[in-house]
Amino acid sequence: MSIIQDIRDKYAKLTVVLIALALVGFILTDYFAGQSRGGGGNVSNTVGVVNGKKILFEEFNSRVNQVEEQMKAQGYPQNAALTQQAIEQTWNQEISRLLLVGEFEKLGIEVGKKELGDILYGVNAPQDIKQQFTDQQTGQFNPALAKQNIDQMLKKGTPEQKANISSYINQLADLRMSEKFNSLLANSINFPRWMVEKQNADNSQAAKISLVREVYSSIPDSTVKVDDSEIASYINKNKSQFKQQESRNISYVTFSAVPSAKDSAEVKDRLAAQKEAFKTTENLEQYLAGEGANYYSGYISGKTIQIALKDSIFKTPLGEVYGPYLDGGSYSLARVLGVRQMPDTVKVRHILIGMQTRDSAVAYNLADSLKNAIAKGSSFDSLAAKFSEDPGSKDKGGVYESVPSGQMVPPFNDFIFLNPVGTKGLVKTDFGVHYIEILSQKGNGAAYKIAYLPKEIIASQETDNAALNDANAFAGDSRDQKSFDANFEKTLKPKGIQKGVATDITPAASEIRGLGLSRSFVRSIYEANKGEVLKPERIDNNYVVAVVTDVFEEGTMSAARARVYVEPVLRNKKKAEVLKKKIGKVTTLEAAAAVLGGKTIETADSIRINSSLSSSLGYEPRVTGAAFNPANKGKVVPEVVEGQNGVYVVRVDNVFTTPVTEGDVNSQRTARYQQAKQGLNNQYSPNNPLSILRNAATIKDRRSNRY
């Protein structure tokens, strides 16, 4: 069930596509206030601009909070990484929304009042609204009651309630307009018969050529110079290829603050001192909660327990404690509470009656009435679809296949694993009251109930201070990039410490490759000037001292930055001119081979027009183009072909056709239509409208002003 399902499924529920507008959650019952993350004062209220349309902080931040709450509800740990992920996801969705809204306005796509009413209260009303306003006894959705409540909130609700419900409705309208937009695009896709037939005719062609080649690597790079003016000229002619966003580069060194052997030993000793108390406590759940540890009170199959020392733990007598033992970055104690035989997996079906909107007695009575109705012949599938509040199983008759132990909450887990097939009953968990039926069980083996008390090995203040002092000393002696580099060579490199480099750090970034997550560190990088050394900052288990080595403004790359991309292209072009001049006028392959120092005449057979990649040639589209130029058939191509890897003198020996094996034209047209249609909803497809719109848009990212 998605409420208590294994966390492994949670990642499949998140997407950065605009259409995932269900991020709001059920806003009708949960109105939480947005917590401002920005500072006060004169900080800009704009976090971005998309084609001239501003993204205001208050509205954006409210959506970030909603996304973050949803992610936490799905099991994500609450930390800085979660917040940054929510910000990034909301940013991408807001860009997509504004881009699409612009297109809706141009095309006249809208949702009228009557249509909006159908979206909210019609046959296909949103699931969250249906859940709130469905009679639990009859299973019937009451649209009039839903409308009455929503209208009441819009008229007399708090400002926050009004804003949230309006946002929810607007997002539903956006979703409907997106569906119309995609349908419009899908219905405009066409692959004419003549085009498919022409492509088939082209693809059926194959060519055999003979050639003489000379590769560019035959001329040493050192003999060909490319100056900055040539690179600047090339950039100016191809500006679209050399766009750059605002970013910075740094060099850095790290001073480790990982726990020492002494720190590890102290943690082990402290845990050993708790062994007797852990063994004798009667209220394990309370004891472990006081230690900040979780307690899973259900039985788990020994086959699924993933602990390096599990065999030793399993041999520990009942009631005894094993450890302390090292488990990753912690020392742990394990208290064996029970062992018994049970199946490996279970197939089960259930109906969940939640307790979020009703008290436990009402939930129990409703579940009990469903149990009695099923016993008298009512359909389990139908009742699950009507009443179950577990969206992960209700549309499948409440069924879960092959459930492993430890996946469900303990009362649910133990009921389905410790009872035989066919057992039915009511089970209360934190999520509500379940009516459960065990359908089948597979496998068998020993299962254990074990309580664990872990203690993370953390650095002592002494270890931390030593690392910070070293970092401060280095930063104090490094006032600019020159002294930073010199100081590193003199004091750190002899100790085996490496100097790292991080590139393309954007203003809104939260993570530095090679270092970890630290939004404050990124802000420090952008508050500094080029060549400035930053004060030490703690990132994970290191103190980092960095120097800003490069500052790039949004716009077009400089010649210096683009040289690494442009220089090889221009160098090869110059080499091509030298080789073409050496070959001179093209007459025969034999003459070209002789001029180039006795080169071998090669043969390339079965070259295809629909592929510029040949096993004998590599990627050489110009050679392929020359081979299929009708004017060259049976002749030597009159000009030297300037390719990707060298120059070529080519003779087209023959061009012939082979049968087309892609099926009939109608089938090809249908297949291409379906493929193009799928591309509309695939964010990685070149046909995705949002990708096209985003590439053409003017987007200003100002999130760094507030986050």
The pLDDT tens digits of the residues spanning 171-218 come to 899 999 999 998 999 999 999 999 999 999 998 999 999 999 999 999
pTM over 0.75: no
Please tell me the predicted confidence (pLDDT) of residue 128.
81
| Closest alpha carbon to 616 in 599, 602, 626 | 602
The average pLDDT across 160-166 equals 85
> In this structure, what are the phi and psi dihedrals at residue 571, rounded to the nearest 5 degrees?
-65, -45
pLDDT tens, residue by residue, 210-241: 999 999 999 999 999 999 999 999 999 999 89
Task: Indicate the pLDDT class of residue 570, thresholds 50, 70 and 90.
Answer: very high
Please tell me the predicted confidence (pLDDT) of residue 2.
34
Q: Is the pLDDT of residue 41 over 70?
A: no
Percent of the chain with pLDDT over 90: 72
The average pLDDT across 62-79 equals 84
* CA–CA gap between residue 679 and residue 685 (Å, rounded): 5
Q: Is the pLDDT of residue 38 over 50?
A: no
The average pLDDT across 327-354 equals 95
Chain-centroid distance of CA 13 in Å reads: 11
CATH at residue 497: 3.10.50
Residue found under tokens 């072909």? 641
Q: Are residues 404 and 539 in the same domain?
A: no
| Closest alpha carbon to 48 in 512, 692, 707 | 707
Q: Is the pLDDT of residue 492 over 80?
A: yes
Please tell me the predicted confidence (pLDDT) of residue 42.
53
Please indicate, yes or no, if residue 685 is contained in any of the structural domains.
no
Q: Are residues 251 and 273 in the same domain?
A: no
| Long-range CB pairs of 661-669, under 8 A, 24+ apart, other chains included | 662/200, 662/203, 665/193, 665/196, 665/197, 665/200, 668/191, 668/196, 668/200, 669/191, 669/193, 669/196
CATH at residue 354: 3.10.50.40
β-pair partners for 452: 334
Q: Are residues 11 and 124 in the same domain?
A: yes
Residue found under tokens 């760094």? 704
Q: Are residues 253 and 168 in the same domain?
A: no
Q: Are residues 519 and 628 in the same domain?
A: no
Please tell me the predicted confidence (pLDDT) of residue 136.
62
* CA–CA gap between residue 707 and residue 704 (Å, rounded): 5
Q: Are residues 607 and 489 in the same domain?
A: no
Please indicate, yes or no, if residue 42 is contained in any of the structural domains.
yes
**What is the DSSP secondary structure assignment for residue 533, as one 8-state letter?**
B
The average pLDDT across 693-697 equals 90
Please indicate, yes or no, if residue 327 is contained in any of the structural domains.
yes
Residue 46, classified by CB atoms within 10 Å of its CB into exposed (0-12), middle (13-18) or buried (19+), is middle
The average pLDDT across 387-398 equals 90
Mean pLDDT, all residues of the chain: 89
Q: Are residues 36 and 109 in the same domain?
A: yes
| Residue 452 and residue 321 in contact, taking contact as beta carbons nearer than 8 Å | no
Q: What is the DSSP string of 254-299?
A: EEE-PPPHHHHHHHHHHHHHTHHHHHH-S-HHHHHHHTT-----S-
Residue found under tokens 């993350």? 37
Compute the half-sphere exposure of residue 554: CA atoms within 13 Å on the CB side of its CA: 9
Please tell me the predicted confidence (pLDDT) of residue 8.
32
pLDDT tens, residue by residue, 86-102: 999 999 999 999 999 99
β-pair partners for 327: 330
Please indicate, yes or no, if residue 198 is contained in any of the structural domains.
no
Please tell me the predicted confidence (pLDDT) of residue 612.
66
| Closest alpha carbon to 407 in 344, 330, 489, 318 | 344
Cα distances (angstroms) measured from residue 444 to each of 299, 320, 340, 408, 418 = 13, 25, 10, 18, 12
Task: Indicate the pLDDT class of residue 81, thresholds 50, 70 and 90.
Answer: confident
Task: Indicate the pLDDT class of residue 418, thresholds 50, 70 and 90.
Answer: very high
Q: Residues 692, 693, 697, 700: what is their CA dihedral angle, to the nearest 10 degrees? A: -100
Q: Are residues 374 and 322 in the same domain?
A: no
Higher pLDDT, 28 or 695: 695
**What is the DSSP secondary structure assignment for residue 395, as one 8-state letter?**
G
Q: What is the DSSP string of 191-222?
A: --HHHHHHHHHHHTEEEEEEEEEEEGGGS-GG
The average pLDDT across 34-40 equals 39
Q: Are residues 425 and 361 in the same domain?
A: yes
The average pLDDT across 100-123 equals 93
Check the CA dihedral 91-177-676-11 and report its sign: positive
Q: Are residues 18 and 158 in the same domain?
A: yes
Please indicate, yes or no, if residue 689 is contained in any of the structural domains.
no
Q: Are residues 56 and 146 in the same domain?
A: yes
| Number of domains forming the structure of the chain | 5
The average pLDDT across 659-685 equals 85
Q: Are residues 155 and 168 in the same domain?
A: yes
| Residue 363 and residue 432 in contact, taking contact as beta carbons nearer than 8 Å | yes
Please indicate, yes or no, if residue 684 is contained in any of the structural domains.
no
Higher pLDDT, 614 or 435: 435
Please indicate, yes or no, if residue 668 is contained in any of the structural domains.
no
DSSP-derived 3-state class of residue 539: strand
Please tell me the predicted confidence (pLDDT) of residue 138.
72
| Residue 98 and residue 91 in contact, taking contact as beta carbons nearer than 8 Å | no
Evaluate the omega torsion of the peptide bond into residue 391 and state whether it is cis, within 30 degrees of 0: no
pLDDT tens, residue by residue, 323-339: 999 998 999 999 999 99
Q: Is the pLDDT of residue 141 over 50?
A: yes
Please tell me the predicted confidence (pLDDT) of residue 75.
74
| Closest alpha carbon to 398 in 376, 382, 411 | 382
Please tell me the predicted confidence (pLDDT) of residue 40.
43
Residue found under tokens 């409907």? 176
Please indicate, yes or no, if residue 639 is contained in any of the structural domains.
yes
| Residue 335 and residue 450 in contact, taking contact as beta carbons nearer than 8 Å | yes
Please tell me the predicted confidence (pLDDT) of residue 32.
32
Please tell me the predicted confidence (pLDDT) of residue 579.
97
Q: Which domain holds residue 392?
A: 345-442
